[in-house]
Amino acid sequence: MKPRLQAAFAVSFAIATASATAAAGTVTVEQQSGRNVRVFVPTKPATPTPLVVMLHGCTQTAEDFAGATQMDALAEKEGFVVAYPEQSADTIATRCFQWWEPAHQSRDAGEPKELADAALAVAKGHGVDEERVYVGGISAGAAMSVILGATYPDRFVAIGVIAGVEYKRATTLAGGLSVSQNGGPGADMQGDLAFAAMGTHARPVPTFVVHGTSDGVVAPINGDQVADQWRRTNTLVLGEGAIDPVLSATGTAGYPFTRKVHRNKANGASVIDYYVVDGLGHAWPGGKMGESYSDPRGPDATALMWAFFKGRTRTAPFDVPPVTLPGTPGTTADGGTATGDPAADPSNPSAGGTSPAAGDSGDSGGCSVTREPSRHVGTAALLGLGLALVLGARRSRRD
């Protein structure tokens, strides 16, 4: 990397990822909207207090996802509440959020309503500022985060999509598997559908996306299409010309990556922030070593996603510092979302405290349980997704 780029990507985070032992807040399991919700409340909540809703992947539990992402530790440091709604194995054996089912793709119905209502209940129960509620997830949870952004833009300020798919990418079980392997319809078409789903609640939804180029479960094209879908949806909300053309820069933080940003023309704040991570499989980058859906090599999705969310409110989603990237005329460093990454440091506790070998991945997710290089775990994980769909189909026939 050129020295100027190196210097820019070395800019320190305003947020330092804390170790798991620093997460000294309170963990409870609440019953909200008919499901268990694991809730972490920090020792000293910020004023006003934000809420981050975290949606796990297939076969994971809420506790698994909390362990993999280490979001509690960051929440303890930054003073935000974290809620992890759990999909019950009684609902679907593989615990997938059912993003491919039409019954769960609209407002006021199915899982979107349950999750939005659960988030509202947690917010009210823990003194959260309802102007500062965000949602992110991985895999099936990421796909459901996209649905929540489209169906409840009045509840969720911004969304985080790690290895997910665009809105209404599939409407059948078979379609879900096909989309995961091959991508879906054009992003403009899905962007229009997401805008239509917003209805009278339409507002811009800032979107943070991470996808690995070696993801064998949800094909890399899906990351491109998620970013493009939300560019289209936000353009329909804000008006043609309100979003700048993409800016991009490259860096290395564990894995090499390319960062692609669409900015709000009015003030330079990011609307879409997309990390394409070279060599990452179907995993949360910068996660804790040995946990499901987790790769300890960076860039650290936990810190980056919170940096993207932080400061945004429902009424002022772009009231954050402007984003500048290396090579952008008249700029020298990133003032909005951090480009440096503590996960690149082998001593970083959130990465498990050790430096994994190149290509080593914790991409288990309940689908692959071996410690293989992340670029090779896709087949086993894809079989797991196929099993999820088959079991879902059997349950649907029984019902």
- pLDDT band at residue 327, thresholds of 50, 70 and 90? low
The average pLDDT across 2-8 equals 36
Q: What is the pLDDT of residue 187?
A: 84
Instruction: Determine, yes or no, domain membership for 122.
Output: yes
Kindly state whether residue 20 falls inside one of the protein's structural domains: no
- Give the separation between CA 245 and CA 388, rounded to whole angstroms: 38
- Strand 207-212 to strand 159-162: parallel, antiparallel, or no bridges (unpaired)? parallel
Q: Which helix (H) or strand (E) holds 224?
A: helix 221-238
Per mean pLDDT, which range of 187-201, 239-253, 319-333 is the poorest?
Answer: 319-333
Per DSSP, 321 falls in state: P
- Return the pLDDT at 181: 87
Residue 16 within any structural domain of the chain: no
CATH number at residue 70: 3.40.50.1820
Q: How confident is the model at residue 126 (pLDDT cuts 50, 70, 90)?
A: very high
E strands within the chain? 26-32, 35-41, 51-55, 81-85, 133-138, 159-162, 207-212, 247-253, 255-263, 270-277, 284-285, 294-295
Q: What is the pLDDT of residue 396?
A: 38
Q: 134: burial class by Cβ within 10 Å (0-12, 13-18, 19+)?
A: buried
* Cβ-Cβ contacts under 8 Å for 126 (sequence gap 6 or more): 39, 41, 45, 49, 51, 81
Which stretch of DSSP H or E encloses residue 379? helix 378-398
Question: Residue 160: which of 54, 17, 50 has the closest Cα?
Answer: 54
Residue 15 lies in a domain: no
Which residue is listed with tokens 């859906």?
A: 293
Beta bridge partners of 82: 40, 52
List the structure tokens of 398.
Answer: 């029984």
Per the structure, the complete domain to which residue 149 belongs is given by 3-8+25-350+359-398
| 209 has a pLDDT exceeding 50 | yes
> What are 66's two structure tokens?
């909390």
Question: Could you give the strand order of the β-sheet that contains 51-55, starting from the edge strand earlier in sequence?
Answer: 26-32, 35-41, 81-85, 51-55, 133-138, 159-162, 207-212, 270-277, 255-263, 247-253
Mean pLDDT of 379-394: 45
Residue 345: inside a domain: yes
- CA dist 321 → 98, 158, 310, 311 (Å): 36, 16, 11, 9
In a domain, 18, yes or no: no
In this predicted structure, what is the pLDDT of residue 179? 85
- Please check the confidence at residue 95 and state whether its pLDDT lies above 90: yes
DSSP type of residue 264: B
- pLDDT, position 344: 34
Rounded Cα distance between 184 and 182, Å, is 7
Instruction: State the residue for tokens 């405290």.
Output: 353
User: What letter represents residue 380's amino acid?
Assistant: A
Give me the number of domains the chain comprises.
Answer: 1
In a domain, residue 238? The reply is yes
Q: Is residue 51 part of a domain?
A: yes
Residue 347 and residue 342: Cα distance in Å, rounded?
9
